[in-house]
Homo-oligomer: A and B are copies of this chain.
Amino acid sequence: MMQKKLLLIVSIILNLVFTIHILYYSSTTWNPTWTNRAAAEAETVASFSCSGHGRAFVDGLGVLDGQKPPCECNNCYIGKDCSVLLKDCPVDANSGDPLFLEPFWMRQAERSAILVSGWHRMSYIYEDGTYVSRELEKVIRKLHSVVGNAVTDNRFVIFGSGTTQLLAAAVHALSLTNSSVSSPARLLTSIPYYAMYKDQAEFFDSAHLKFEGNASAWKQSGRNDNITQVIEVVTSPNNPDGKLKRAVLDGPNVKTLHDYAYYWPHFSPITHPVDEDLSLFSLSKTTGHAGSRFGWGLVKDKAIYEKMDRFIRLTSMGVSKETQLHVLQLLKVVVGDGGNEIFSFGYGTVKKRWETLNKIFSMSTRFSLQTIKPEYCNYFKKVREFTPSYAWVKCERPEDTNCYEIFRAAKITGRNGNVFGSEERFVRLSLIRSQDDFDQLIAMLKKLVYHEEDVPSENFMYI
């Protein structure tokens, strides 16, 4: 009798507990509806570990046929789960693919994700009739203010499909203000320089522009006549050597375009907020999202801004709305803590890489690296080393005239110095790629440097 009574009481209490549980659960958990499929797909794909040497993406090969997207393995790793490391595999240290920041974004998974609905901003324009998200513009101004690397007051902000598009737009706009003079504007820069400037100018082959090369040489030549219109591109920190640069030329005939793609705490002390007429920045090197194709410019002069805007309109009618949405979310994460997490991570990673690299090169008499004196960084509030994106390596032996080939024979693909308008005695090695790429680079560099004595350089061709 007592037992039965007890059983009844327990049973009823249990019923109450269940009821409360169910009520509570259904009121506090959010029940995904139409976002369910996309979210579940993303979670599934993200859960593939690919042995830590690759990743799967929701748009991987075969998904159209209903297959699970495969692991896309890092260089030198193969196998279904990227678990097999190829032996003696050639190292890729060529392009500036900024994957060193990928681990940061994986850690920020929740805060950095976006869900794009099928009807997201189908219009050509935003509500204000422009191609530019005002919220994104706002967060960009905020970013510069928290990092302290650029003045944005009294500046127009312009967006492009990568700094690449803005470079073309800016050079075009600057060359167009040249109407009164009959000869084309000369495009000048410092050697070594980022090859895109030359390639664009030569490819578009405009009647208004001619790539001329070295600004210092121009300055000393008789052609520096204060009449010929000149556009100087200043890349600071410079690609490939990481140095802070200043304009070489001035005068009423000179227009200056600053490419600040690398002026972020990952790579350089922030010595002052830049305050130039025309400055360009790149998401690729800020957050590492090169695939998103997003860059922006700060432009003082309204007429130049309008010409650039027209260039963007006539080449792409603005930047993809999906991209703008994603960039807004990413930069929201960045400015959320004043850039603290991302720049500490980025600087920490590149610094560690430079320490490893310096250690190896310090044992070499055959190869040398660029050196730049530390400077005070207003962002980290301390004197800090430069930690450029690239190692700019010089082959010191007289017979090593082609440094790129020396490295290639040692299974390291860099980028030839002559691509930057410099000598073949230089080669650029990218240090901002994935950790796997860097680790492989280090392994191969060790072989190369530690065997300097026993392997004369001529023999490298046969290794």
A238 to B162, CA, bound (A): 32
Bound-state CA distance A46–B328 (Å) is 19
**How far in angstroms is the closest Cβ of chain B from A286?**
12
Does any Cβ of B come within 8 Å of A127's Cβ?
yes
Q: What is the minimal beta-carbon distance from A20 to any residue of chain B, in angstroms?
A: 11
Q: What residues of B have a CB within 8 angstroms of the CB of A165 in the complex?
A: 315-316
> Within 8 Å CB of A219, what residues of B?
none
Pick from A35-43, A343-351, A352-360, A368-376 the stretch touching chain B. A35-43
CB distance from A57 to the nearest CB of B (A): 6
Query: Which of chain B's residues have a CB closer than 8 A to the CB of A36?
Result: 30, 39, 110
Tell yes or no: A223 within 8 A of B by CB. no
A168 touches B97 (CB 8 A): no
Contact B105 A118 (CB under 8 A): yes
Q: Tell me whether A97 and B125 are in contact (CB under 8 A).
A: yes
Closest B residue to A43 by beta carbon equals B35
A130-142 Cβ-contact flags toward B at 8 Å (1 or 0): 0001111011001
B316–A161 touching, CB < 8 Å: yes
CA distance A165 to B42 in the complex (A): 31
Q: How far is the CA of A59 from the CA of B317 in the complex (A)?
A: 19
Find the B residue at minimum CB distance from A203: B314
In the complex formed, the residue of B with least CB distance to A62 is B135
Of the stretches A227-235, A243-251, A319-327, the one at the interface is A319-327
* Residues B133 and A320 in contact, CB atoms below 8 Å apart: no
In the complex, what residues of B have CB within 8 A of residue A314's CB? 164, 168, 196, 199-200, 203-204
Give the copy number: 2
> Whole-angstrom distance between the alpha carbons of A15 and B64 in the complex?
45
In the complex, A58 has a CB within 8 A of chain B: yes
The reply to whether the CB of A461 lies closer than 8 angstroms to some CB of chain B is no
Q: Does A117 contact B (CB under 8 A)?
A: yes
Pick from B43, B138, B288, B322: contact of A322, CB under 8 Å: B322
- Interface positions, chain A 1-40, Cβ under 8 Å from B, are 4-5, 7-8, 11-12, 14-15, 18-19, 21-22, 30, 32-40
A98 at the interface (CB under 8 A from B): yes
Q: Check A101 for interface membership: any CB of B closer than 8 A.
A: yes
Are B59 and A325 touching (Cβ within 8 A)? Answer: yes
**4 extra interchain contacts, Cβ-Cβ under 8 A, other than A38-B115, A205-B208, A319-B320?**
A8-B11, A30-B36, A160-B316, A168-B314
Q: Which 6 A-B pairs have the closest CB atoms?
A: A112-B118, A18-B18, A291-B321, A161-B316, A34-B109, A35-B39
Q: Mind listing 25 A-B residue pairs with CB under 8 Å?
A: A7-B8, A14-B15, A34-B43, A35-B110, A36-B39, A38-B39, A38-B110, A59-B136, A72-B127, A99-B123, A106-B118, A112-B119, A113-B115, A116-B326, A118-B329, A118-B330, A123-B291, A205-B207, A206-B207, A291-B320, A293-B320, A293-B321, A294-B320, A320-B322, A323-B323
